[in-house]
């Protein structure tokens, strides 16, 4: 390349940058890099923070559950991989204190436990607990508040765990991986691993679970797992990572991550749209210089070199400024949200930077490709015939290049073909619809725009005349509005669903083991004390023994899976059977019919939760056998139910017809809510019902609420960022179209048209475009939301009628105002200046 072209390109770049002529395209690239970088950097950090937070629920980054002691070499090898490890042995065991005894969930841990999260202890039973460093020392035991009640002991007393006498030194609040189950939760006893042998509880025949915890760099964890995997036996071992966390928190985090991904994708598309608009405008503004240069002897090759170089300079500058700005925005946001979201700035993530740079350059390249090709095709004859434009004009090529680039970017970035395809197809449908609508508008314009010339007629005349230009503009407005709607509505729906899981007054205490006689007394007691409680569910514990008389292995029920999947523990050696004629809230019959259709003389019936039915291969018409005490109950499956496990209420795998259970004495389970201010009353409140088991789930609920709040806040921030990016894109679009209107405004002005006529006509034109764009965006939004919610977010899709009105109204207002502002700026110039600008 000759240095003269380099010099020329650099000179043009320098002058144009100084004179503000590159502002829009530069701005578009800066915007794209800054928004993609800040969004993905922030979301990466946030994901890290949320993953760390979720890791607390398994007390590590990864965990190996085993039914047998794991080999020491496995632990040693983990250390070689640079990982930290901890160990826990758990079993159910009786503990003895004074004259009392109780079944406990025994956890023997070493001093490194937990690797993530913290053990909390309270100054006295049922008081609020705070985090503590370390774990019980040899000879010590930390026990759950309930055990103080059950064993009638105090701090400093000795209790027997198996054969070992241990001193109670702390009231145990929580351990990170306690799991959460309303049923069957025995109070936790936490002791040192060193004392385990002396207890003799982990002998042959006892059901013991060995857990090994790991933390470290993600890559080291992956490498270690690759090494370990061939040695694992599926029957004995279960490898678990945070992503496997199927709890409400795990699911909230997973959904939020998808949302961040979606928002970042949309930011990329927004950025791409803005670059496309800016590149088009850039190209059109250079038609004259290219015609002049060609006239005075520049070859096509020289022109190509000059402009490709110029675009390169612009891109480099845009990327640099955008990257600095992106890091700045992200830093500001993290600082601003610092109190609410624990996001660390200490680790630098390279991936977002690479993505942002890649996005900036690919967008600049792909979206300026067609406008540049157009620019190169400008004939020199334009110097004589000003109406001659570029000879290359292929919308198909333009759309194919732009569409291909967007799809590639989305796919490359998300590695998720489904999300990319959904957004892309919605975009195509929208564009096809918009083209049809534009054609419709032209026809409509002929009818609506008749009569004496006024602002309304002028507006329609312009829409009609500039049909093709307007259709491109309409598409970019609609796509922008649609993307904003998707992000906004998705956020609203998601947060609403999260909040719905934990409404104010969500039960924070569960009581079980309420006898038939106690039930009316407890109801009266609650009413007298103004305590809001839920329904009482009868529970009988039964052993699930056979399907169609074929005995089942208890192993298939994963009884040692103590992960926080509410209610799953009911399907252990013993299942919790309940009965009711009313279908519980949050339950939906998927197959068969509900129990209320039972008639005397028919076999006894049961309704089975659909997932467990699938896992155990239970079908409609099968007979299930339960062993309750010494009795055998055989029931026929008449329905399969889907259960919303996200509700904070007792849920059951098996609901039987009351007729089948009429001869069994049940205990009852219920839940109630006690305000924070009344928490101190709990001991007094439950005193008259000492035999009833009380679970305080407040800590769990608060933990969940905290995570949901943090995630919601982050989601809102991302929404604001995308909204800001979208608004800037809209401004850029209006600005670009103003240039094209300049000539007409100058002519109208010269002919003596009043400012108000011109202004109103432009405002009307933009309002019409805004209404149509808003409406089309609402339709496309509905379509893409339906696909996204049902296919990607596993949420219930719903129609958002309100946006069918809001979007056109907002489109009209925003686009109208932007149009008016742009027009005022032009009209503020005197006619002479306007005419000169045309030349």
Partner 1 sequence: MIETKAITKTVSTSEGELQILQPISFHVKAGESIAIVGASGSGKSTLLGLLAGLDEVSSGEIMLDGQPLHTMDEEKRARLRGEKVGFIFQSFMLVQSLTALENIMLPAEINGLKNPREKALEILQQVGLGHRAHHYPNQLSGGEQQRVAIARAFITQPKILFADEPTGNLDAANSDKVEALLFKLNKDNNTTLVLVTHDTELANKCARQLHMQAGQLSESSLREAS
| In 452-562, alpha helices (H) | 455-465, 467-501, 518-528
**Residue whose CB is less far from partner 1, 292 or 583:** 292
**How far apart, in whole angstroms, are the C-alpha atoms of residue 605 and residue 589?**
14
| In 297-416, alpha helices (H) | 300-337, 350-376, 395-414
**How far apart, in whole angstroms, are the C-alpha atoms of residue 579 and residue 658?**
5
**Residue whose CB is less far from partner 1, 21 or 611:** 21
Tokens for 425?
Answer: 């197809």
CB 557 within 8 A of CB 572: yes
Minimum Å gap between C-beta 710 and partner 1 is 50
Which residues make up the interface to partner 1 (CB under 8 A)? 2, 4, 7-8, 11-12, 15-16, 19, 21, 288-289, 291-300, 302, 379-381, 383-386, 836, 839
Minimum Å gap between C-beta 292 and partner 1 is 5
Minimum Å gap between C-beta 371 and partner 1 is 17
Minimum Å gap between C-beta 9 and partner 1 is 11
Minimum Å gap between C-beta 385 and partner 1 is 7
Long-range contacts of 249-254 (CB under 8 A, 24+ apart): 249/53, 249/54, 249/57, 249/703, 249/704, 249/707, 250/54, 250/57, 251/646, 252/498, 252/704, 252/707, 252/708, 252/711, 253/50, 253/51, 253/53, 253/54, 253/707, 253/711
**Residue whose CB is less far from partner 1, 380 or 658:** 380
Ramachandran quadrant class, 565 (left: phi over 0; alpha: psi -120 to 50; beta: rest): beta
What b/e readout covers 544-555, taking b as 16+ CB neighbours within 10 angstroms? Answer: bbebeeeeeeee
Let me know the angle formed at the C-alpha of 593 by 590 and 595, rounded to the nearest 5 degrees.
120
Q: Which burial class, exposed, middle or buried, applies to 478 when counting CB atoms under 10 A from its CB (0-12, 13-18, 19+)?
A: buried
**How far apart, in whole angstroms, are the C-alpha atoms of residue 576 and residue 569?**
9
**Residue whose CB is less far from partner 1, 110 or 295:** 295
Minimum Å gap between C-beta 302 and partner 1 is 6
**Residue whose CB is less far from partner 1, 1 or 720:** 1
**How far apart, in whole angstroms, are the C-alpha atoms of residue 191 and residue 166?**
9
Minimum Å gap between C-beta 301 and partner 1 is 8
Handedness of CA 240, 243, 244, 250 (dihedral sign): positive
**Residue whose CB is less far from partner 1, 7 or 219:** 7
- Distances in Å between the Cα of 697 and the Cα atoms of 300, 672, 798 are 75, 10, 32
**Residue whose CB is less far from partner 1, 289 or 586:** 289
Minimum Å gap between C-beta 8 and partner 1 is 6
Minimum Å gap between C-beta 22 and partner 1 is 9
CB 327 within 8 A of CB 365: no
**How far apart, in whole angstroms, are the C-alpha atoms of residue 136 and residue 498?**
37
**Cβ neighbours of 207 (radius 10 Å):** 12
**How far apart, in whole angstroms, are the C-alpha atoms of residue 672 and residue 651?**
15
**Residue whose CB is less far from partner 1, 291 or 640:** 291
CA-wise closest residue to 252 among 793, 672, 836, 700: 793
**Residue whose CB is less far from partner 1, 21 or 744:** 21
**Residue whose CB is less far from partner 1, 381 or 665:** 381
Minimum Å gap between C-beta 736 and partner 1 is 18
Minimum Å gap between C-beta 379 and partner 1 is 8
**Residue whose CB is less far from partner 1, 2 or 684:** 2
Minimum Å gap between C-beta 16 and partner 1 is 5
**Residue whose CB is less far from partner 1, 18 or 553:** 18
- Distances in Å between the Cα of 401 and the Cα atoms of 129, 394, 688 are 60, 11, 76
């Amino acid at each position: 390349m000759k240095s003269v072209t380099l010099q020329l390109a650099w000179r043009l770049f320098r002058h144009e940058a100084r004179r503000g002529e590159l502002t829009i395209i530069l701005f578009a690239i800066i915007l794209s890099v800054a928004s993609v970088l800040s969004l993905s950097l922030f979301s990466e950090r946030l994901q890290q923070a949320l993953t760390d937070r979720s890791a607390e629920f398994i007390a590590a980054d990864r965990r190996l559950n085993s039914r047998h002691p794991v080999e020491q070499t496995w632990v040693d090898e983990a250390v070689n991989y640079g990982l930290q490890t901890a160990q826990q042995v758990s079993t159910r065991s009786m503990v003895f204190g004074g004259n009392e005894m109780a079944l406990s969930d025994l956890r023997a841990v070493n001093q490194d436990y937990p690797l993530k999260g913290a053990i909390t202890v309270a100054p006295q039973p049922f008081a609020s607990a705070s985090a503590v460093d370390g774990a019980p020392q040899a000879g010590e035991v930390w026990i759950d508040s309930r055990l103080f009640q059950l064993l009638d002991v105090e701090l400093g007393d000795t209790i027997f765990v198996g054969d070992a006498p241990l001193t109670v030194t702390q009231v145990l609040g929580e351990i990170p991986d306690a799991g959460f189950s309303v049923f069957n939760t025995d109070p936790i006893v936490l002791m040192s691993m060193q004392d385990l042998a002396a207890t003799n509880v982990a002998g042959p025949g006892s059901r013991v679970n060995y857990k090994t915890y790991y933390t470290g760099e993600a890559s080291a964890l992956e490498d270690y797992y690759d090494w370990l995997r061939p040695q694992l036996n599926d029957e004995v071992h279960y490898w678990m990572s945070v992503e496997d966390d199927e709890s409400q928190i795990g699911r909230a985090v997973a959904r939020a991550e998808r949302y961040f991904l979606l928002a970042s994708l949309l930011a990329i598309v927004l950025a791409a749209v803005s670059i496309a608009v800016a590149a088009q405008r850039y190209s059109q503004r250079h038609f004259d210089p290219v015609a002049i240069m060609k006239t005075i002897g520049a070859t096509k090759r020289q022109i190509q070199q000059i402009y490709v170089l110029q675009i390169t300079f612009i891109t480099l500058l845009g990327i640099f400024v955008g990257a600095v700005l992106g890091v700045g925005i992200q830093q500001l946001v993290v600082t601003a949200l610092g109190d609410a979201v624990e996001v660390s700035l200490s680790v630098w993530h390279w991936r977002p930077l690479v993505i942002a740079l890649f996005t900036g350059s690919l967008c600049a390249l792909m979206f300026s490709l067609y406008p540049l090709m157009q620019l190169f095709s400008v004939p020199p004859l334009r110097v004589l015939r000003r109406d001659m434009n570029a000879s290359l004009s292929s919308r198909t090529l333009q759309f194919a290049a732009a569409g291909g680039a967007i799809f590639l970017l989305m796919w490359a970035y998300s590695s998720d073909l489904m999300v990319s395809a959904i957004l892309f197809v919605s975009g195509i449908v929208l564009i096809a619809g918009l083209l049809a609508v534009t054609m419709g508008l032209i026809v409509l314009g002929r009818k609506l725009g008749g009569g004496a010339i006024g602002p309304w007629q002028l507006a329609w005349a312009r829409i009609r005349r500039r049909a093709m230009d307007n259709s491109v503009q309409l598409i970019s407005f609609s796509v922008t509005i649609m993307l904003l709607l998707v992000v906004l509505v998705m956020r609203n729906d998601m947060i609403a669903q999260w909040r719905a899981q934990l409404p104010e007054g969500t039960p924070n205490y569960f009581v079980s083991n309420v006898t038939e006689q106690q039930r009316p007394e407890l109801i009266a007691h609650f009413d007298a004390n103004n305590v809001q409680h839920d329904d009482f569910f009868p529970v009988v514990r039964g052993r699930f023994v056979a399907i169609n008389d074929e005995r089942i292995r208890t192993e298939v029920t994963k009884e040692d899976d103590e992960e926080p999947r509410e209610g799953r523990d009911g399907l252990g050696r013993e299942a919790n059977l309940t009965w009711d004629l009313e279908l519980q809230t949050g339950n939906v019959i998927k197959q068969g019919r509900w129990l209320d259709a039972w008639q005397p003389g028919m076999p006894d019936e049961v309704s089975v939760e659909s997932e467990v039915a699938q896992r155990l291969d239970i079908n409609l018409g099968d007979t299930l056998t339960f062993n309750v005490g010494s009795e055998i109950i055989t029931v026929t499956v008449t329905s399969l139910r889907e259960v919303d496990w996200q509700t904070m209420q007792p849920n059951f795998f098996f609901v039987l017809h009351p007729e089948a259970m009429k001869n069994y004495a049940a205990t009852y389970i219920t839940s109630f809510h006690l305000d924070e201010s009344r928490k101190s009353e709990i001991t007094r409140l439950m005193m008259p019902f000492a035999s009833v088991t009380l679970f305080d789930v407040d800590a769990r609920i608060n933990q969940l609420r905290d995570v949901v709040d943090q995630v919601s806040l982050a989601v809102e921030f991302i929404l604001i960022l995308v909204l800001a990016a979208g608004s800037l894109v809209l401004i850029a679009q209006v600005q670009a179209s103003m240039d094209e209107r300049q000539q007409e405004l100058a002519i109208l002005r010269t002919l003596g048209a009043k400012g108000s006529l011109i202004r109103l006509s432009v405002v009307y034109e933009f309002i019409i475009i805004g209404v149509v764009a808003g409406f089309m965006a609402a339709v496309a939004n509905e379509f893409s939301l339906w696909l996204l919610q049902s296919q990607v977010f596993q949420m219930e899709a719903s129609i958002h009628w309100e946006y069918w009105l809001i979007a056109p109204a907002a489109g009209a207002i925003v686009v109208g105002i932007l149009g008016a502002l742009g027009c005022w700026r032009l009209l503020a110039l005197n006619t002479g200046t306007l005419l000169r600008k045309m030349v």
